[in-house]
Structures are given as C-alpha cells and as structure tokens.
Structure 1
Amino acid sequence: MASLPPDSDQVLVEANGSTRTLILNRPRQLNALSSAMIMGLLKCFTAYERDDGVKLLIMKGKGRAFCAGGDVAAVVLSIKEDSWKYGADFFRNEFLLNYIIATYGKPQVSLLAGIVMGGGAGVSLHGKFRVATENTVFAMPETALGLFPDIGASYFLSRLPGFYGEYVALAGARLDGAEMLACGLATHFVHSNRLPLLEESLKRVDTSESFAVCGIIDQFSQQPSLKENSSLNRLEIINKCFSKRTVEEIISALEQEASNLADEWVAATIQSLKKASPTSLKISLRSIREGRTQTVGECLRREYRMVCHVVRGDFSRDFFEGCRAILIDKDRNPKWVPPRLEQVHDEVVEKYFSKVDDPQWEDLNLPTRQANNSHGRILVPKL
C-alpha cells in the first residue's frame, strides 16, 4: 500500500491489477475531507483517467465512517486567520473534484459503510456505483450549520422522487442504507459482512464495462425493506408540504398536518426546520428548485457563487456562527442573524446567486470533458 506524496497518508492507494482502491484515511476525524485529501484525490482521478492500465476505481473510508463531509471547521478557522480566499480555494478544488467524478470515463464503486455526509456525498454519489449497507447514515446537514447542500447536491437531490430532495435538503434528514437505495441515492445495498468479499471480487476486474462491474455487485446485493417509520413511507405528506413555493408555506403546511395527525416524524421535521438558519433554508430551497433544470456543471458553478458569498460573509455570518455552535464550541445553540424567516427578504436571497463583486474573485471554471456520464445518474425508482 502506498500513499501519495506530498499529501501525507490522508489518502491511501492500493493497486490490484487494473483496479485502484482509494482509502480515505483520517479515521479520527471520520475521514472529513481536508484540503490535502481533495488535492490527493484530484491527482489520482486525473492520473488514472489517462492510464489505460487502470480500469476501475474503488473508494472507501477507514474506520467507522466513509466520510463525514468537508473539514469545514478547519476552513472557518483558516478564513478567520487568513482570508476568504482560503475558503474559496477549498471549495473550488472540491467542486472541481465533484465534477471530474460526475463526468468520469471509468466506473467508480463507492463502498458507503458508516457515515456519508456533505463532502463525503460529493466524492461518492456523483460516481457510477454507490453501495450502501445496513450501517450507512446519509445526510446533508448544512442548513443546521448556516450553509446549504453544496458539492452538486442541488443536482442529485432535485432528481429524487417527488419533493423528497427538498425535504432531505432543508431538514438535514438522516437516511439509512435501505432509504438511500429506495430513493436512488445508492445503486446497491450489500450487507456489511459481505463487503470484503465484494471488494475482493472487484479487485479482480479487468474491464471498464459498467455492465460487467454492475453484474459483480449484483451478486452480493439484496433488496432491504424500509422501516415502518421511514420518511419514504410519508412521501404523500412530503410532496404535499415540500412542494410549496416558500419555506414559510412549507412549515405552515407541516403544522397543518401536525394538527390533523399525531405523527412524531412531522413534529421532528418541523423542529429541524425551526432550528436551522433561516437564510440557509431560503437559499437551499431556491438552489434545489434551480437544480432541477440544470446540468451537474451548471449546478456546481452556481453553488460556487453561493458558497463564496457564504465564506465572505457578504449577507450573513450564519456559517461562522453555525460552525462555532456545532463544530467548535459545540454548545449547539447558534444565534442566527436574521433570526426569523420573514426577515430574510427575497432581494437578499437573490444576491447569493449573483457574481461576487471582488477583483480577486472569478467564477468556477470547469474543464471540457469528453465522457459526460452525469445525465440520468440518479435513477428515480417508482415508489
């Protein structure tokens, strides 16, 4: 096993014939993506795409998580010490990696054991095959941090059944492996005790034919049933409420449901929305709605504009406050400004989608790619 200099040992590379296994190796930090990891992964993906000797990529995490997200606490501390440019560069490289994965010419199999959140979803869900297990926990928890679901999430969440993507994005909902498979975020479900056998079989692959790779994973996969309390069993309520035009109307519709039926899920969803940053909720809803009609590249470019406004603190400092409350001081009591949804005006929301007015800033420049595999990647099942 060898690591890539100069990125220390945060990304390990294992070579088996024409298969390369990329191992995210920060287990104590739940494999949160550092800048060094992102650069290491970029080097790997770029080099292996050109290498005819490499046919298949496997990605997994060391320890009990696949990847808990981007290391945003480090980003926030660096912005405070240095400047917003550090944060912008971090997200620029991360989004470039997301785009390369989404348009990659060779199959990638992500073994989603344990936690898959935020940036961890970005380095896996854009790939061809996503294997969930009974231990998988997926979420895009950004609205609780004063951020929004980025890493191209407005592309893949907007393509989930009905208005399920709006629910997952705004409420920061946690999904298990069965739910990921049922809604299309995962392509396969394999019991965790069979993952080592699957991995061994994949390491013997000598083809980039997706059909052949899929056939191997199919041999180990199963069809799990949804738990009774699954949010996917409430898709009718989700579609009714989360299809509303504004966040205020979504919450009002949920409160109407709560008055008609005693459902813990409805109460918990309302509570999640009321704890989140009002600014984050509004820009997230707009982002998902725009994502429905955009390519993955267009989503990433737009999200890059949004995230630059966030890290610069142009219209709100909620991202810094959310990271303080949840990740740094951990008092879990963020003070959002403004604190109420009705105080977040449409004109301010609109500004997040505009170019950044700074001579040092430029739009996200994505490379022209020959093999664009991004379309139709999320398979929406009939639920």
Structure 2
Amino acid sequence: MDEVKISGTDDVTIILDRPRAINSLSGEMLGAIGEAVKGSPRSIDLSGAGERGYCSGADIRELRSLVLKDPEAAGDWLDGEYDVDAAIAEVHSGTAHLHGISMGGGLGLALRLKRVEARDDLVLAMPETGIGLWPDVGACFELSRAPRLVGRHIAMTGAFIDAASALWAGLVDEVVDADGEPVDVDPVACQLARDAVWIQECYDTDDPVEVCRRLADRPEPAARKTAEHIATRCPLSVAVALAAVVRAESASGLGEVLETDRALGRSFMRNSDFCEGVRAQLVDKDRNPHWSHESVADVPARQVEGMFDPS
C-alpha cells in the first residue's frame, strides 16, 4: 500500500510513508506490517518518511470513529495492533530509526526491535493520558524498567523527552546525527537525569493522589509545574497509567504486559474519556476536554482495578 513501503522477505525493510500525518498508523498500515512480519523474517529495518518525525502514533481519529460505531470493533482494532507488536518482538535482529516526533503506537513497533537508533532531533513521548488513554503497545514494559521511577513519570504526564533523556532512560540505544553518524552524548547530564531526584521521591508510591500531592509540595519549580500539568490530563488515564507501570514492574515479560494492554484496551474503548479527549485535541480543537472525573482524587480505586478486568 502507498502509506507504508515494505520490501524483502528474510530481511524486511519497512518505511512508514504518510508524512503529512507524521506517519500515524492506520489499521490498513498495521495490517500490511503484520503481513510482512508473520513469516518470521530474519531482520527488520524500520523507519519513517518525512522530516517532521518517525511516527506520531496510532491514527486515533480512525480509532475514535470506530468507537462511536462499535466499541467492541475498536477493541479488535487495538488487539490487531498489539498482535503486530508481539510479532515484531519475535524477530531476532533489527533496527528502528527514530527522528523528530516519535510517539505512541510508533514506539510500540520500534521498541520491539533489538536496536533503536534516535536522531539528535528526537521528541519522544507516550502522550496518551492527554486523550483519555494510557501508555499501551507494551510500552509499560520498557517504562517500568527505566531508572529511578522515571517511567512512572513519563506514563502519567505524557512528558516529551529528548534524545539524551531517552538514551539515559534506556528507551534508545544510540543517538546519531542526520547522516547517521554517532553523536557523543552525555546521558547523565540530560534534563531527565537531573530531575530524577525529585521524580524518584515523588513517584515512589502506587497512589496517584499522593504522587500529585508530593509534586505540588516540592521546592523545585519543575516538580510543581508537573503537578499542574497532570491536573490537565484525563484523571482516569493518569490513575490507570500509574497502576499499569506498577504492574509491569513485576511482569514476567512483554507478553504479560501486552495481555494487560488487551484488557485495558477493551475497558477504555467502552469509556467516554477517549472520544472526548480526541474531540478536544483533534476534532473540535478547543483543548477543553470534559473528562468523566474532575480530578485524580475523584477516581475510585475500585474503578481503576476494574479497568484491568473488562469482562
């Protein structure tokens, strides 16, 4: 298909080629990628066309349209995405090339490969809490293994991080320039590493309300600003994001995290927050979502637990 270029059978090259949408992943694109990898190729080389970025994530407009017609069909759409992520994880060799905007579902593909290269203009995020979702596509597996609880921070806030921070957090393996040449980066000097002291102290709890309280009480302006930022995200999503990363910290592997994502996907497709979040951000663009809860403190713990069991 035109929006993803695939070549090779044993050594597969995949180029996401929908640059006007920053290569957002449609169901058709995911289907084509799934077909390319189901034959258990020897290696995969993955990249995205266009200067703006590697991939802005899944096509959430398409997913929202499905939800409005049939939430169960939307759950099937997500299952198909996670199937592709799982299949790529089985490939023994491969490299993902990230540049510019690299988010959400695109990371679900890239992080499954054995090596992830990031260009020095990287802007990486799992921004789902801003649209009424949580960090899915197995990303909680990597986030749960990031140092000093920064994965919890990234999951709850949807924070954008640069190449050096992504390297320090273990989300990429190397930073390169526009010509593909290695860039000498000191990851310990990155912003995320510098913020890690207050991040670790604030996020060392499985209670999202307590996280927000600790952030608001910190002397660091960045911590207090983070508390204000979390207050703009979907409260249910924030609570579930923390719970999902905490669960992933004790998961046996990626497969277990993806199974959790399947359950959460069904739950979120039946919840009004996702459609409302996409409406506010991408449809009406009023940036004024009306979430199902006023604040994280209003989200019942039993509802968070119930999201992990949609039966």
Q: TM-score range by the shorter chain?
A: over 0.9
Counterpart of 1:21 (choices 13, 19, 26) is: 13
C-alpha distance in structure 1 between counterparts of 2:296 and 2:266, whole Å: 22
User: How big is the shift at 1:39?
Assistant: 0.5
Q: Spell out the pairing of 1:52-63 with structure 2 (5 A cutoff).
A: 55-63=42-50
Correspondence for 2:5 among 2, 9, 12: 12
- 2:295 and 2:224 map into 1 onto residues whose CA distance is 19
Aligned to 1:308: 266
Tell me the equivalent position of 1:199: none
Secondary structure of 1:289's partner? helix
Secondary structure in structure 2 of the residue aligned to 1:9: coil
CA contact (8 A) 2:168 2:188 kept: no
State the one-letter code of the partner of 1:72: I
Q: Is 1:286 matched with 2:247?
A: no
Structure 1: how far apart are the matches of 2:77 and 2:293?
27
Q: Identify if the C-alpha distance between structure 1 residues 336 and 355 changes in structure 2 by more than 3 Å, giving closer, same or farther.
A: closer
The amino acid that maps onto 2:149 is F
How far off its partner does 1:352 sit?
0.5
Q: What does residue 31 of structure 1 align with? A: 23
Instruction: Give the letter aligned to residue 82 of structure 2.
Output: F
Corresponding position: 1:336 with 2:300: no
The equivalent position to 1:161 in structure 2, one of 139, 143, 147, is: 147
In the alignment, structure 1 segments of 5+ residues that lack a partner are 1-7, 196-219, 357-383
Look up the SS of the partner of 2:231 in the other structure.
Answer: helix
Partner of 1:149: 135
- TM-superposed CA distance for 1:18, in Å, is 6.2
Output the CA distance in 1 between the equivalents of 2:38 and 2:229. Answer: 39
Aligned to 1:87: 74
SS in 1 for 2:117: strand
Change (3 A) 1:354 1:62: same
Aligned: 1:100 with 2:87: yes
Shift of 1:296: 0.8
Q: Provide the secondary structure at the position in 1 that maps to 2:171.
A: coil
1:21, 1:102 → 2: CA distance? 15
Larger Rg: 1
Q: Is the 8 A contact 1:172 1:272 kept in 2?
A: no
CA distance in 1, matches of 2:67, 2:90: 30
Q: Deviations over 1:111-133 (max 9, x none)?
A: 10111100011010121010011
Deviation of 1:336 after TM superposition, in Å, equals 1.1
CA-to-aligned-CA distance 1:254-313 (integer Å, 9 cap, x gap) = 1111xx34x3x2233112201011111111111100001112111111111111111122
State, as a whole percentage, how many aligned pairs show the same letter.
Answer: 29
TM-score by length of 2: 0.95
Aligned residue number for residue 135 of structure 1: 121
Q: CA separation in 2, counterparts of 1:74 and 1:188?
A: 33
User: SS in structure 2 opposite 1:138?
Assistant: strand
Structure 2 residue identity aligned to 1:45:
V
CA distance 1:227–1:290, change in 2 (3 Å): closer
Using structure 1 for the length normalisation, give the TM-score: 0.77
Structure-2 residue corresponding to 1:76: 64
RMSD (Å) for aligned C-alpha atoms: 1.7
1:181 and 1:187 in contact (8 A); partners too? yes
Shift in Å, 1:221: 2.2
2:162 matched to 1:176?
Answer: yes
- 2:70 maps to a residue whose letter is S
Counterpart Cα distance in 1 of 2:73 and 2:38: 23
> Is residue 2:30 matched to residue 1:41?
no
Please state whether the residue corresponding to 2:147 is helix, strand or coil. coil
Q: How many residues align?
A: 309
Aligned to 1:338, the other structure's residue is in SS state: coil
